[in-house]
Structure 1
Amino acid sequence: MHLAAIAPRTPIIGPMLCGMVLMSMMLISHDVNAQVVDSEPLERIVEVVRTLVQTTLGAAEPATTQIEIAQLDSRLRLPRCAQIPSAELAPGTRSIDNGTISVRCSAPVAWSILVPVRVEREQEVVVVTRMLARQHIIQPDDVQIKTVSSRTLSNGYFDTLDAVIGLQTKRALNPGEVLNTTMVTAAKLIKRGQQVTLFSSRPGLTVQMKGEALEDGVLGQRIRIRNRTSKQIVEGYVESSGTVRLGL
């Protein structure tokens, strides 16, 4: 799909957003006339903003994606830029879905303008299917994929089930809640003082022994274990609840 299909037109954001458009100008030459004869076309500014948003979103965005760019004041008069103005995400903008684009010109007169944008698209996210208690280890039946509007999302959401299976909830969760990184953490499969099984394997041979965990551990974490027989302290990687693979 071509990027142009993402936003066939430029919807108008309400008057409040229009009022957010900020402009700062700085003369870089004392020879520039105060009366600007050739003004920067507002349409070119809008197109520069749209191009940046489309590039940021990528070519895989669905045709239902809508880009809304704040309407520029028709009375705005900026010196025409010698080159096509540049555009980038304004400082502090974390997401293109609801952010601000900084458009700049360097010559013959330096100016910049901030243009608010909104992007609405259908996004697949992970949602909770039933009530989950605090410190619950998420299982496959606890979550599902659902398509929602990007405007309802906060940063840090998950879009694949594999990314959340095995994580532990930080608080109680209600059915229908969109999971994000603030709600879950890596589950502690081993706790300090717990008796664990140590194992080491190679083709044709597996050795197991008992030990005591000297620290908490999540899946894949390297932790210290005291061998219950030799009292020697060794290190291994958490494989599952109560099982540690010796690091060789």
Structure 2
Amino acid sequence: MRTAFHFFRRLRHPLCALALFAISTTAALAQVSPLTSALEDFVRTQTQGLPGKVNYAITPIDSRTQLAPCQVFEPFLPQGAKLWGRTNIGVRCLGPASWTIYVPVQVSVSGNYLVSSRNLPGGSLIGPGDIAVRTGDLSTLPTSILTDSAQALGKTLKNGIAGGQPLRSDLLIAPWAVQQGQTVKTVSSGPGFSVSSDGRALNNAADGQIVQVRTPSGQTVSGIARPGGIVEVSH
């Protein structure tokens, strides 16, 4: 009894109280760690294909949030959200409890992007000398920003822009792969066969766009325009 009495008296000492607080805090952090790990794994996996160096910061869960113990976490992106800039990640507990929370996260992507090297009037055909490369946080720029010169070269500028302005896909027009009135070759292929014939394009179309073609027999078919006057027709 005497030994036990002295033990409990020692617990009243400030240093002992501090030690007990540290133990309880460590235990609480250990409970949060699997959730944090699941969130970090999710962010790393989902941002692997982004064009640049990815940095992220996950906002710690509010200590006042009361969550039932969970062994299996399922992170997900809310509908319409993406891991770009400031956003939220949803987390479902799959067992033994059942709850869902949303955790704020900031994702920045440091990489190269294209700007105009000088003032360019509308209608300009973009060449190598019209492009300059800058480095910055892509998440702060429009989502249509161009990051590779191949995305801009040979395309036409819709409207004039000043030097140093970011080049965006919505500012450029792709060259026509097929022009109205042009003689084109329609190509149709499938398992075990490939058929081609000539025709005349009825509209302008860039690479990947739909073009209508009139065949020598007078029939009109639709296909996908490809460079070189090729039209892919599926059946």
Q: Which structure's CA Rg is the greater one?
A: 2
Query: Structure 2 vs 1, CA of residues 66 and 226 (structure 1 numbering), >3 Å: closer, same or farther?
Result: closer
Aligned partner of 2:127 in structure 1 is: 139
Q: Which residue number in structure 1 is paired with residue 159 of structure 2? A: 171
| Letter of the structure 1 residue corresponding to residue 75 of structure 2 | A
Aligned residue number for residue 140 of structure 2: 152
Q: Distance in 2 between matches of 1:220 and 1:105?
A: 43
CA distance in 2, matches of 1:74, 1:136: 57
Q: Matched residue of 2:96: which SS? A: coil
- Take 1:187 and 1:132, find their aligned partners in 2: how far apart are those partners? 18
Task: Map residues 69-218 of structure 1 onto 2, 5 A cutoff.
Answer: 69-81=58-70, 83-188=71-176, 192=180, 214-218=202-206
TM-score by length of 2: 0.63
Q: Among 18, 43, 46, which residue is 2:36 paired with?
A: 46
Give the C-alpha shift of residue 104 in structure 1.
Answer: 0.7
Give TM-score scaled by structure 1 length: 0.60
Deviation at 1:181, TM superposition (A): 2.3
CA apart distance, 1:180: 2.3
Q: Distance in 1 between matches of 2:49 and 2:183?
A: 49
Per-residue CA distance 1:125-160 (angstroms, 9 max, x = gap): 122212222232222211133221133222132221
Give the aligned CA root-mean-square deviation in angstroms: 3.8
* Count of residue pairs brought into register by the alignment: 190
Amino acid at match of 1:80: P
SS at match of 1:171: coil
Aligned match of 1:66: 55
Counterpart contact for 1:144–1:161, Cα < 8 Å: no
Q: What are the equivalent positions in structure 2 for 1:11-22 lying under 5 Å apart?
A: none
2: CA distance, partners of 1:220 / 1:160: 19
C-alpha distance in 1 between matches for 2:171 and 2:226: 23
Structure of higher RCO (CA pairs closer than 8 Å, 6+ residues apart): 1
Deviation at 1:238, TM superposition (A): 7.0
Structure 1 unmatched runs, 5+? 1-37, 200-210
The amino acid of 2:41's aligned partner reads T
Q: Classify 1:234/1:143 alpha carbon distance in 2 versus 1 (closer, same or farther; 3 Å).
A: farther
Contact 1:39 1:80 in 2 (8 A): no
Give CA deviations for 1:152-202 in whole Å, capped at 9, x if unaligned.
Answer: 222132221112112222322222222222222323476546xx6879xxx
Residue type of the alignment partner of 2:69:
R
1:108/1:84 CA distance change after superposition, 3 Å: closer
Q: Check if 1:57 corresponds to 2:47.
A: yes
Summarize the Cα distance change of 1:60–1:127 in structure 2 as closer, same or farther, 3 Å threshold. closer
Paired residue type of 1:56:
Q
Deviation at 1:79, TM superposition (A): 0.2
- SS of residue paired to 1:121: strand
Alpha-carbon distance, 1:102 to partner: 0.6
Deviation at 1:45, TM superposition (A): 2.4
Identity of aligned residues (%): 23
Q: Return 5+ residue gaps in structure 2 as ranges.
A: 1-27, 186-198
